[in-house]
């Protein structure tokens, strides 16, 4: 500690008030103080507001120029408000009247508070500097949102990324207008949470993506969110190119595999009818045929996945179809393959404009899954009814319920549910079934509970 005080009595009073907690260096005037500051390191300085031949403010100015970070506490025997205002305007850490020095621990509390405040301020400045370097290195923009006024404020990078006009602030509506409708909704939902991360897309011919991350200030009164903005356009474009390449390669591979498999199926069909084969050889041929049919089914699923993911959509050939007869035919085929299982049919006669082969694919998948995952000795109920302007196909079975969290994922590609004994294929059946129903303008949903069982419902426009 450095004490700049010309009065010996006051210096003695300061030492007495500090006791053994500090051993200050004394300076009688400004030049002596500056000399000590050049030779030593101090945590805090006490500076008399009135010095002979000089003023405390002018000495403070020289100290502040030499050591701008040093906290300085002004001392004065005149406790006027004017002195306090001048001291704090000059940048003093605090102010204490000499009359208050004699109060118990008053001086010590003032000194320690000034040192602690300086430490906290220094740490905050260092953290801010480190954050600035990190943000600059990441090429990120920074922004804040005043929730009370719904006003954004941001740096040049934030403004450029979102294509905002040059002005000090932007309304929340101005920012939303720059986003697609879906992204604007995502941003509004994200802003309801105290910490969030959301990727938004800007309106325009060329897709522009921005990653927005924010955090609400802990002070409830502030109602302010601050965050960063990073350009994700290049990353998104690279992801899209990689995904398109992967799926195109999958499509090419799947398509090219169908031709040799067709030859295997035709050859196995001819061999199966040959009178020269023994029973054991015919079983081998049947195994070959069954495996080839299974591989063909998997390849068809991969081709459908590729069509959907590449944006081309599933090709449909709609025509008026007796939907009840299509569903009944699928049930008859599955009944032959599962003679020990019961299928209960409740089918209304309905003629619907659909692609019969694609809808048969949906029915086969839903009913086949129900037979596979239901408990032995229970019936699978297949119901077809009209509901308003829609045809409703429901497949219900009793078995282990699908957990709520799994129901949201079960229609995604490559997701399979159940124990290993009931899992087969690639986990694409429900995904492709959902896309077929979507392509018809309908919706495929699931409900499941231990009490009511599992029910898949396909709703198709009539």
Phi, psi torsion values for 350, nearest 5 degrees = -135, 135
DSSP reduced 3-state for 261: helix
Q: Does residue 171 surpass a pLDDT of 90?
A: yes
The pLDDT value recorded for residue 78 is 62
Alpha-carbon dihedral sign for residues 234, 236, 242, 244: negative
395-437 pLDDT, tens digit per residue, is 999 888 888 888 878 888 776 665 544 455 567 888 889 989 9
CA distance 371 to 338: 8
365-397 pLDDT, tens digit per residue, is 899 889 988 888 899 999 999 988 899 999 999
Go through the domains of the chain in sequence order and give each one's CATH number.
2-133 (3.40.50.2300), 139-231 (3.30.450.20), 239-309 (1.10.287), 319-461 (3.30.565.10)
Percentage of the residues of the chain whose pLDDT score is greater than 70 = 91
Q: For residues 402 and 446, is the Cβ–Cβ distance under 8 A? A: yes
User: Between residues 89 and 248, which one has the greater pLDDT?
Assistant: 89
Which DSSP category does 3 fall into?
A: E
The pLDDT value recorded for residue 422 is 46
194-219 pLDDT, tens digit per residue, is 778 888 889 887 888 999 988 887 66
Which two three-digit tokens encode residue 190?
């994200």
- The conformational region for residue 33 under phi > 0 = left, psi -120 to 50 = alpha, else beta, is alpha
The pLDDT value recorded for residue 234 is 87
CA distance 151 to 169: 6
Which two three-digit tokens encode residue 345?
């049919």
- The conformational region for residue 139 under phi > 0 = left, psi -120 to 50 = alpha, else beta, is left
**Cα Dmax for the chain:** 128
Alpha-carbon dihedral sign for residues 425, 428, 434, 437: negative
The pLDDT value recorded for residue 427 is 73
Q: For residues 37 and 47, is the Cβ–Cβ distance under 8 A? A: no
The pLDDT value recorded for residue 345 is 94
Query: Alpha carbon of 424 to those of 166, 420, 436: distances in Å?
Result: 58, 8, 21
> Crossing angle for the helix pair 279-309 and 429-439, nearest 10 degrees?
50
Which DSSP category does 401 fall into?
A: P
> Which three-class secondary structure string do you get for 58-82?
HHHHHHHHHCCCCCEEEEECCCCHH
Alpha-carbon dihedral sign for residues 386, 349, 441, 320: negative
CA distance 265 to 242: 34
The pLDDT value recorded for residue 313 is 67
End-to-end CA distance of the chain: give it in Å, rounded: 89
Identify which of 39-48, 138-147, 260-269, 282-291 has the greatest average pLDDT.
39-48
Which two three-digit tokens encode residue 41?
């390191």
Sheet harboring 390-397: ordered strands across? Answer: 342-347, 379-387, 390-397, 453-461, 443-449
Q: Which residue has the tokens 């522009």?
A: 208
For the chain, give me the number of helices (H) and strands (E)?
14, 20
Q: For residues 185 and 205, is the Cβ–Cβ distance under 8 A? A: no
Which two three-digit tokens encode residue 89?
């305007």
Which DSSP category does 119 fall into?
A: H
CA distance 404 to 109: 59
Q: Residue 133 CB: number of other CB atoms within 10 A?
A: 10
Q: For residues 456 and 446, is the Cβ–Cβ distance under 8 A? A: yes
Average pLDDT value for the chain: 85
Q: Does residue 158 surpass a pLDDT of 80?
A: yes
> Which three-class secondary structure string do you get for 375-389?
CCCCEEEEEEEEECC
| E strand or H helix that includes residue 146 | strand 141-146
């Amino acid at each position: 500690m450095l004490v700049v005080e010309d009065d010996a009595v006051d210096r003695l009073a300061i030492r007495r008030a500090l006791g053994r907690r500090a051993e200050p260096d004394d300076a009688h005037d400004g030049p002596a103080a500056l000399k000590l500051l050049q030779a030593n390191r101090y945590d805090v300085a006490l500076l008399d507001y009135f010095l002979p031949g000089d003023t405390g403010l002018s000495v403070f100015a020289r100290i502040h120029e030499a050591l701008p970070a040093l906290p300085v506490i002004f001392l004065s025997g005149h406790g006027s408000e004017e002195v306090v205002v001048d001291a704090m305007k000059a940048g003093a850490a605090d102010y204490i009247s000499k009359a208050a020095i004699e109060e118990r621990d008053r001086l010590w509390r003032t000194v320690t508070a000034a040192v602690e405040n300086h430490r906290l301020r220094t740490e905050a400045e260092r953290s801010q500097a480190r954050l600035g370097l990190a943000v600059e290195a990441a090429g990120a923009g920074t922004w804040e949102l005043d929730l009370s006024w719904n006003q954004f404020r941001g740096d040049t990078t934030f403004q450029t990324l979102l294509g905002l006009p040059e002005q000090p602030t932007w309304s929340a509506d101005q920012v939303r207008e720059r986003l697609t409708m879906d992204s604007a909704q995502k941003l509004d939902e994200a802003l309801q949470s105290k910490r969030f991360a959301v990727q938004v897309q800007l309106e325009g011919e060329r897709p522009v993506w921005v990653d927005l991350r924010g955090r609400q200030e802990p002070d409830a009164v502030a109602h302010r969110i601050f965050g960063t903005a990073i350009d994700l356009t290049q990353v998104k474009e690279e992801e899209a190119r990689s995904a398109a390449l992967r799926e195109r390669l999958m499509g090419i591979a799947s398509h090219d595999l169908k031709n040799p498999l067709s030859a295997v199926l035709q050859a196995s069909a001819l061999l199966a009818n040959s009178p020269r084969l023994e029973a054991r050889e015919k079983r081998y041929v049947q195994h070959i045929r069954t495996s080839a049919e299974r591989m063909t089914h998997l390849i068809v699923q991969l081709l459908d996945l590729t069509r959907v993911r590449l944006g081309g959509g599933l090709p449909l050939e709609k025509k008026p179809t007796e939907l009840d007869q299509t569903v009944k035919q699928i049930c008859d085929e599955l009944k032959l393959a599962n003679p020990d299982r019961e299928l209960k049919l409740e089918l209304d006669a309905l003629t619907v404009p659909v692609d019969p082969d694609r809808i048969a694919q949906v029915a086969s998948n839903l009913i086949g899954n129900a037979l596979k995952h239901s408990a032995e000795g229970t019936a699978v109920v297949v119901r077809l009814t009209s509901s308003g302007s829609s045809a409703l196909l429901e497949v219900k079975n009793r078995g282990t319920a699908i957990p709520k969290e799994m129901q949201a994922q079960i229609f995604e590609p490559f997701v399979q549910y159940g124990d290993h004994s009931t899992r087969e294929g690639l986990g694409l059946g429900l995904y492709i079934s959902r896309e077929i129903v979507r392509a018809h303008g309908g919706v495929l949903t699931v409900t499941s509970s231990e009490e009511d069982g599992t029910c898949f419902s396909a709703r198709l426009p009539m």
